[in-house]
Amino acid sequence: EPEVTQTPSHQVTQMGQEVILRCVPISNHLYFYWYRQILGQKVEFLVSFYNNEISEKSEIFDDQFSVERPDGSNFTLKIRSTKLEDSAMYFCASRPSGGTDTQYFGPGTRLTVL
Amino acid sequence: GESVGLHLPTLSVQEGDNSIINCAYSNSASDYFIWYKQESGKGPQFIIDIRSNMDKRQGQRVTVLLNKTVKHLSLQIAATQPGDSAVYFCAEKRGGGNKLTFGTGTQLKVEL
């Protein structure tokens, strides 16, 4: 069964450094998402992406964040200058076009900012 | 305000019993609801979903009930097994929207 994959599984970085989290959505899906989950808290929406542009973003997704689909398979989340409070699990999700709202999640990347 | 919340943070059941996990939502504009299971260190795994034009949907050992009158959603797991132990999240999508808004999660513990 096709799955969303994410790399790396764990990323440790120093405060102020840039990180890029990578995702490979399910191959025939057209809508892509990033969510995050701070330890012990609920999953929070960051951004949705469709047709090579952001379709919706939350207030969390400020100018330090960006997303990109650099090729036909990858979907990335970049944080330009990480803060301590960016430490969280970051989940990528995807869904196919039309007829379903079901989003399928990847295993996540644990980001630790020191 | 708009929110999706869970009534119980932890639910303990005996193996073989049925489990019921509840969820409240406050936005009457929500048109889609979904349950996810999250095991430790893993991403949310889709269990079952339901649209607002339905009040019940069944899957394999799971049933979702939607009561729009009181804005309540529940997940029923039949014959609960040790492998069902996880955190269960409900999430909702507002009509015309794109994102999922998650509840805080319920920890299901299955006792042998």
Report the CATH architecture of A5-113: Sandwich (2.60)
Of the candidates A6, A43, A55, the beta carbon closest to that of B98 is on A55
Q: Does pLDDT of A97 surpass 70?
A: yes
pLDDT digits (tens, 9 = 90+) for B7-30: 448 999 999 999 999 999 888 899
Give the domain range for residue B49: 4-111
Separation in Å, CA of A33 to nearest CA in chain B:
8
Query: Quick one: pLDDT band at residue B4, thresholds 50, 70, 90?
Result: low
Q: What is the mean pLDDT of residues A83-98?
A: 94
Query: Chain B residues with CB inside 8 Å of A35's CB?
Result: 100
Q: What DSSP character marks residue A40?
A: T
Q: Specify the CATH number for the domain of residue B9.
A: 2.60.40.10
pLDDT digits (tens, 9 = 90+) for A7-54: 999 999 999 999 999 999 999 899 999 999 998 888 999 999 999 999
Q: What is the mean pLDDT of residues B74-98?
A: 94
Q: What DSSP character marks residue A73?
A: S
Q: Does pLDDT of B64 surpass 80?
A: yes
pLDDT digits (tens, 9 = 90+) for B32-56: 999 999 998 889 999 999 999 999 9
Beta strand A31-37 with A44-50 is antiparallel
B92, B25 Cβ separation under 8 angstroms: yes
| Domain assignments of chain A as residue spans, ordered by start | 5-113
Q: How many domains does chain B have?
A: 1
Q: Does pLDDT of B2 surpass 50?
A: no
Identify the closest residue of chain B to A55 by CA–CA distance. B98
Question: Cα–Cα distance between A44 and A68 in angstroms, integer?
Answer: 19
Separation in Å, CA of B54 to nearest CA in chain A:
15
